[in-house]
Amino acid sequence: MGKRVLRPGGRELTRRMLEQLDIQPRDAVVEFAPGLGVTARMTLSRNPASYTAIERDEAAAAQVRSYLTGPNQRCHLGNAERTGLDDQSATVVYGEAMLTMQGAEQKRKIVAEAFRLLKPGGRYGIHELGFTPDDLPRDIQEDISREMSRNIHVGARPLALREWRELLTGAGFQIQAEAVVPMHLLEPRRLIRDEGWLSALRFVFNVLRRPQARKRVLSMRRMFRKHYRHLTAVSFVAVRP
Ligand SMILES: C[S@@+](CC[C@H](N)C(=O)[O-])C[C@H]1O[C@@H](n2cnc3c(N)ncnc32)[C@H](O)[C@@H]1O
């Protein structure tokens, strides 16, 4: 439909995650699941020593490749669970809106892969969807996950903020920074801020033109509004000691 920024905290939380990651020209950066490459372009503008993306969708990978220049910028078709990259070959790893959609075992494997790729002192950034408060009863969490998965047609399994922290520390990371912003994915203000006026208009136009899409987008927004109090966008930056 023309919506390009699909992460829960929008560009704002991406910006905060990147600020905390503090990518420098000496950094070797790995991005998991770059999607349409919105963050990839922000990272590339910081001129890291190298940039390697791992994306499992052919069309998305082709789009990311169109932004790359020179031999030190690559996008491989592959799975973040097993990237095939060398141990301790990166100083920064990050991935947005990609852990929430995985099951518990895959989440654990992807975080372990980030740890394996990083040199000691390396930073790992994530930007995902969280349940709040931490003690939100399990059955409410499961209801929301089920409703979301049905609604967006992909598995959605957010974790309570405490569980995200435990996922990272369980893999050996030390948490350095944490930021939360409300979940406003399909609200007009966020839409304009994330996509810009012109693209936001194009998105609205595309959706209005297609009754089926319109029904889906409105039902997604209804769902996010209904669970607003219990869902939050969160980013963490953690360090491999
Ligand atoms: C919701 S999008 C997030 C894209 C981007 N990070 C963003 O925030 O806009 C999900 C993307 O993650 C990719 N993806 C999901 N799981 C992956 C995995 N295990 N390894 C590599 N790519 C994955 C999908 O192909 C898709 O392009």
Q: How far is the CA of 210 from the centre of ligand 1 (A)?
A: 25
Atom in ligand 1 nearest the alpha carbon of residue 102: 16
- R_g of the chain, CA atoms, integer Å: 17
b/e per residue 221-231 (b: at least 16 CB within 10 A): bebbeebeebb
Rounded Cα–Cα distance for residues 192 and 206 (Å): 15
How high is the pLDDT of residue 6? 64
Mutate to test the pocket of ligand 1, among 12, 13, 56, 183 (most ligand atoms within 8 A of CB): 56
Residue 232: DSSP 8-state: E
Q: What is the pLDDT of residues 150-195, one digit of tens each?
A: 877 777 899 999 999 999 999 999 999 999 988 776 677 777 777 7
Domains of the chain: 10-135+157-183+233-239 (3.40.50.150)
Among candidate residues 6, 16, 3, 9, the one with its CA nearest the CA of residue 183 = 9
How high is the pLDDT of residue 204? 76
H-type alpha helices, 71-130: 104-117
Q: What is the pLDDT of residues 111-150, one digit of tens each?
A: 999 999 999 999 999 999 999 999 999 999 998 888 888 8
How high is the pLDDT of residue 211? 82
Residues touching ligand 1 (Cβ under 6 Å) are: 6-7, 32-35, 38, 54-57, 60, 79-81, 96-98
Among candidate residues 172, 128, 160, the one with its CA nearest the CA of residue 9 = 128
Q: What is the pLDDT of residues 4-14, one digit of tens each?
A: 656 677 888 99
> Residue of the nearest CA to atom 16 in ligand 1?
98
Q: How far is the CA of 211 from the centre of ligand 1 (A)?
A: 27
Which tokens sit at 2? 């023309």
With tokens 């998991």, the residue in question is: 32
Atom in ligand 1 nearest the alpha carbon of residue 6: 9
Selected residue with higher pLDDT from 241 and 207: 241
Q: How far is the CA of 98 from the centre of ligand 1 (A)?
A: 5
Report the DSSP beta bridge partners of residue 84: none
**Taking a C-beta distance cutoff of 8 angstroms, is the pair 128, 8 a contact?**
yes
Report the DSSP beta bridge partners of residue 158: none
Average pLDDT, the chain: 90
